């Protein structure tokens, strides 16, 4: 599994990793983020940058976010099942999804700017508020 950090690639090398070629060769790709003090660490922003630069299918990018990271550490992806532990994110996108012709692209393009996210992890609830000044 290849883990890419699009903003770091652009910042440090002036270009993005050749993700399209890797996908063509069957490489599993996961999205990461770099917290070297340069960027606000948020994989949703990485997904947004990747889609805007390379125009990769949004479903493929969501797979990079939600599935391939598990493969990178030798685990099986988690799925919702009765009696399983919850790990859920609830996002406020306003009216965006009602007007979108591509809900997957809408998630990638708008989630970093969602005013709030609620994350439920096992028995804990976290509310994350996003300020555009931190992005």
Is the confidence at residue 1, as pLDDT, over 80? yes
Convert the pLDDT of each residue in 72-109 to its tens digit: 888 887 777 777 776 777 776 665 556 667 777 877 77
Q: What is the predicted pLDDT for the residue at 130? A: 57
Helix 58-66 with 43-54: angle, nearest 10 deg? 150
Note whether 104 and 62 are within 8 A (CB).
yes
Q: What is the predicted pLDDT for the residue at 135? A: 39
* pLDDT band per the 50, 70, 90 thresholds, residue 122: confident
Convert the pLDDT of each residue in 19-76 to its tens digit: 999 999 999 999 988 776 677 788 888 999 999 889 899 999 999 988 888 888 888 8
pTM of the model: 0.72
Contacts of 90 (CB under 8 A, 6+ apart): 117, 118, 119, 120
């Amino acid at each position: 599994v290849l883990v890419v950090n699009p903003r770091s690639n652009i910042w440090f090398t002036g270009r993005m990793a050749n993700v399209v070629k890797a996908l063509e060769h069957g490489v599993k790709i996961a999205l990461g983020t770099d917290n070297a003090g340069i960027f606000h660490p948020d994989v949703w922003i990485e997904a947004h940058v990747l889609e805007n630069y390379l125009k990769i299918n949004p479903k493929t990018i969501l797979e990079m976010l939600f599935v391939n990271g598990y493969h990178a550490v030798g685990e099986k992806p988690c799925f919702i099942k009765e009696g399983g532990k919850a790990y859920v994110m609830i996002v406020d996108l306003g009216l965006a999804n009602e007007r979108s012709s591509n809900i997957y692209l809408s998630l990638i393009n708008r989630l970093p700017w969602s005013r709030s996210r609620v994350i439920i992890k096992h028995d804990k609830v976290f509310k994350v508020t996003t300020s555009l000044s931190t992005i």
